[in-house]
Amino acid sequence: MIAATDRIVLAAGVTLRQGRLADEVRGESWPLNGSAAFVLGRCGEPIGVTVREVAESFSLPLETARADVLRFVWHLNRLALVNVESGSRRVERLHGWLRLALRLAPAGSVPASLTRRRPLDTRSALRGLGTCLAACARRTAAVAAVATVVALELFSAAGSPGVALPVALGICTGLGLGLHEAVHAAMLRGVPSALVTRGRRTFVLHAAVPPGRRSLVALAGPLAVAAIGTGCLAAAALAPVPCLAVAGCPLAAHALALTVFTGDGRVACGL
């Protein structure tokens, strides 16, 4: 959802150069026509203001200008070239989202998710790991919170009292996501990369690398997390600690990302 008070900003690594939009991560650039350069030249302004200026400058009806600008912004955001910064408070955004969701409900759809691109410092493996963990910290925390609530419900329905097991399960579910992406980033040492989130999806966008390295990067994320999970389970089996065994399960489940049913698995198999 994009509101009139929202602002667009070029994503990290994206620049405007001599009438072209260049993406350092993809290593590509695209020519801009007059209206595209006009809109992108007004990055940081509220979109509502940009729409009025487009309508005035190009002698367009306001509705046509709004539709054109929003279509352009959505397209660039979908490609992770621009981020949309909200100009309203979180509560107002939630209210607006709920209103739109209610209007779309009869059609069986939900408001489209915005894409957000965050920079990753891949000058060294450690920096890649650290910046990626920091970049997806909020998402990791959100996934951990949701998983904990769901686990609490399930454990309670199964008649298992206590919060230690559900909390361990939830924390490891969130941590698994963060570590998975962080290991991908660590393996991309020296390659321009960015972390992209869109709706439920989280992925590392990176410059082209040779096929062998691409497979290795794809394998490393799930394999590292699954190895940690397996280690937890092996330790739990040696010294029976149910909490450790339960916590290891969501980490070990990342091994499923090695199959061709997921993007990482398909890349690893060269499909």
Q: Where are the beta strands (DSSP E) in the chain?
A: 7-10, 14-17, 20-23, 28-31, 82-85, 115-120, 193-198, 201-206
Name residue, tokens 């397996």. 230
Judged by beta carbon, residue 50 or residue 148, the one nearer another protein is 148
DSSP class per residue in 44-107: TSBHHHHHHHHHHHTT--HHHHHHHHHHHHHHHHHTTSEEEE--S-HHHHHHHHHHHHHHHGGG
Exactly one of 20, 110, 259, 263 binds another protein (CB under 8 A); which one? 259
**Interface stretch with another protein, choices 38-46, 49-57, 100-108, 232-240 (CB under 8 A):** 232-240
Instruction: Check residue 156 for interaction with another protein (CB under 8 A).
Output: no
Judged by beta carbon, residue 43 or residue 243, the one nearer another protein is 243
Judged by beta carbon, residue 61 or residue 161, the one nearer another protein is 161
Min dist CB 249 to another protein, Å, is 5
Exactly one of 44, 162, 199, 270 binds another protein (CB under 8 A); which one? 270
**φ/ψ of residue 217, rounded to 5:** -60, -45
Q: Which of residues 233-252 bind another protein (CB under 8 A)?
A: 233-234, 236-237, 240-242, 244-246, 248-249, 252
Query: How many residues bind to another protein according to rule CB under 8 A?
Result: 31
Instruction: Check residue 190 for interaction with another protein (CB under 8 A).
Output: no
Show Cβ contacts of residue 27 under 8 Å, excluding neighbours closer than 6 positions. 192, 207, 208
